[in-house]
Structure 1
Amino acid sequence: MHKIGLIGGTFDRFHSGHLSLIEAGLSNCENLQVWITNDELARSKDRRIQSWPERESDLIDATLEHSSRISTHQLDDKFGPSLNSIEASAIICTTETMQGCLEINSLRGKDGFLPLDIISVDRVISWDGSPISSSRIRDGKIDREGKPWIPELFRISDPIMTLEVESKLKEPFGELIEGPEEDISVAALEAISRIVESTKFSGPLIAVGDVTVLAFQNSGRPADIAIVDGQTKREEWRGSKDIDFSLYDNLLECNSPAGSLTRSLLKSCECSISSWMQKEESSIIRVVGEEDLSPLLLHPLAPIGSVVLYGQPGRGLVIRWCDEESKIRCRNLLRGFSKG
């Protein structure tokens, strides 16, 4: 048993893989020093990464029962104390970061320090066979335990909304930006201003509904992903003919009757988000049926830092940032659907 072991990393959105790493360290060391990358270094990789205090707090909360054996520290460079620590005798890593530990021991040897015992841990695998990682969580692929955001039922059937879910959907979900009903572009311009100014936004901007999609088009900032069905308030809308489909890189078509969420719609949503993330291509989805329930799929699928907007008849636009909270709420609602 080592007296002190070292662990270093970003520890963004503390997940099952992080916990596995720390548990391996605790199994081999009396005490652990956990060095958490500072904000400047972390956000140079991805500005969606949580602040240092948030990351430290999540780690402490998740390892509370071992608090007497774990200390947290700020990591301000690549190596931290690992090159010249004489109190630590072990370093814990994943198989992916093993090379960095070998480099540390090489540099320690050149400076006359004993090598650290390298304790390597296999990465924890998520539901789809790929390792759990903070980047995959930020990209909306998995939750912190490696589980999917979309329930399996939606991949094998076309589930139908229940009365219980319908009642819950009446609860506010997002921030209302008020504007005149006759010109929703006023609210759209205000929404664009808020989105552009926000440090949270990393895209895509997702607009749901013909009126909303046209409003962003007329405001000079078409949505990155648009979903339309040719209707407003469940009636055919003349303004739909003014939507310029040529503004989008991809046109996707699907079927989704009122009150249901089909595999056809799910596939279109997945394709549009994938196209934006991989190639920054915009997409417009034309739904035969209704697109009203599509945000319940879009929030679970979209990356953290994206934003979903839809119209609120007679009042303006609703804006809802995509974060873990929105994903959890939508997944819980999806679990309330019945098999189609």
Structure 2
Amino acid sequence: MHSIGLIGGTFDRFHAGHHSLLLAGLEKCQKLEVWMTSDRLVQAKDSRILSWDERAAELLNFIGEDLSSSLSINSLEDNVGPAPTHSEAGAIICTSETRANCEEINLQRQKNGLGVLEIIQAEYVEAHDGKPISSSRIRAGEIDSEGNSWIPKNSRQGVITLTKEIESKLKDPFGILCEGPEDDLSVAILGALEVAGDGASPIIGVGDVTILGLQLVGINADIGLIDEKTQRQKWHGYDDINQSNFDNILNCINPPGKLTPSLLDACEIAMVNYHNDESTLIIVDGEEDLAPLFLHPLAPIGSVVLYGQPHRGVVLRLTGIDSKTRCRRLLNAFSSE
């Protein structure tokens, strides 16, 4: 048993893989020094990474009081931290991805006249799809912290139907209402984009009015959904939408009050296209009103989802763990056919 073990990493969106890494270290070390990448270093990597304080709080909250007394959390300001010169450490904990770094650290320690650290390699924890759980996959919106899909099984097995109970929960705007006059779509759209902030992406627009409104202010949605209607009535402005602005056009079927595998497939393809730097317009035969319930679970953290609110303006919701959790819970409550 080593007195001190070292672990370094970003530890963003603390997940089951992180937990496994800590447990592997504590099996062979009395104490662990966790060296968590500083805010200065991570912002150059991905702006969606939580702050150092938030990451530290998540880690401590996840592991609980019993384990928290066995570790300390420190700020990592470079690629190696104190490992090459730490005289009291006896082990370093890693994954297969970071093992080479640990071997390099041991070479540096030998040059410094110190003994090598035992390299404790933890196995990856697999997500539902057999791929490793990782912070980058969580930020990309693919999985939750336990490796589960954000899309429940009922949504993949067939058509699901909106219940009266769920309908009542969806009546109030799910996000921030940005108001503007009906005869000038740009007011609400520009207000929503200002709230979202510079650089937020992807921009996902739901509804013909929203897609046209974005185009009128010079912005093309990364993902757009239209059904040629507004408030369930044929909309004359549909023809003004420039479909040629989109790299891809998909068609799907989704009757009113329902969510279909056809719509889900289209949304998933659109997300793949986005990651390949291509935009997608989904033309829905039926209605696209409930599509945000699929879009939030599929979208990367920080995505901008916009949809129209009749007679009032545009609703903005940024995709986050909270919106994903809410949508998954609502989808599970739909009635299966």
Shared fold by TM > 0.5? yes
Q: What amino acid is the match of 1:159? A: I
Which residue pairs with 2:177 in the alignment?
176
Selected match of 1:287 from 273, 284, 288: 284
Which residue pairs with 1:337 in the alignment?
334
Aligned mates of 1:172, 1:219 — CA distance in 2: 23
Task: Give 4+ residue runs of structure 1 displaced > 4 Å after superposition.
Answer: none
Matches within 5 A, 1:37-186: 37-64=37-64, 65-186=66-187
Deviation at 1:139, TM superposition (A): 0.2
Q: Does 1:4 align with 2:4?
A: yes
Q: What amino acid is the match of 1:93? A: C
Aligned mates of 1:122, 1:303 — CA distance in 2: 26
Which residue pairs with 1:205 in the alignment?
203
TM-score normalised by structure 2 residue count:
0.98
Bigger Cα displacement from structure 2, 40-49 vs 50-59: 40-49
Which residue pairs with 1:299 in the alignment?
296
| Residue ranges of structure 1 left out of the alignment (5+ in a row) | none
Which residue pairs with 1:247 in the alignment?
245
Aligned mates of 1:195, 1:67 — CA distance in 2: 36
Selected match of 1:256 from 254, 257, 260: 254
Deviation at 1:156, TM superposition (A): 1.5
Q: What amino acid is the match of 2:18? A: H
Aligned mates of 1:142, 1:252 — CA distance in 2: 25
Would you say how many aligned residue pairs link Structure 1 and Structure 2?
A: 336
Q: What amino acid is the match of 1:143? A: D
Deviation at 1:171, TM superposition (A): 3.5
Q: What do residues 188-243 of structure 1 show as CA deviations (whole Å, max 9, x unaligned)? A: 1222233343xxx5411001000111111111112111100011111111111111
Aligned mates of 1:314, 1:55 — CA distance in 2: 41
| Residue ranges of structure 2 left out of the alignment (5+ in a row) | none
CA RMSD of superposed structures (Å)? 1.0
Aligned mates of 2:165, 2:333 — CA distance in 1: 7
Aligned mates of 1:194, 1:249 — CA distance in 2: 27
The percent of aligned pairs where both chains have the same amino acid is 53
Aligned mates of 1:331, 1:87 — CA distance in 2: 47
Aligned mates of 1:48, 1:275 — CA distance in 2: 21
Q: What do residues 57-87 of structure 1 show as CA deviations (whole Å, max 9, x unaligned)? A: 1011112221211110000001111001011
The answer to whether the Cα contact below 8 Å between 2:4 and 2:30 also exists between their aligned partners in 1 is yes
TM-score normalised by structure 1 residue count:
0.97
Deviation at 1:47, TM superposition (A): 1.2
Q: What amino acid is the match of 1:250? A: N
Aligned mates of 2:240, 2:280 — CA distance in 1: 17
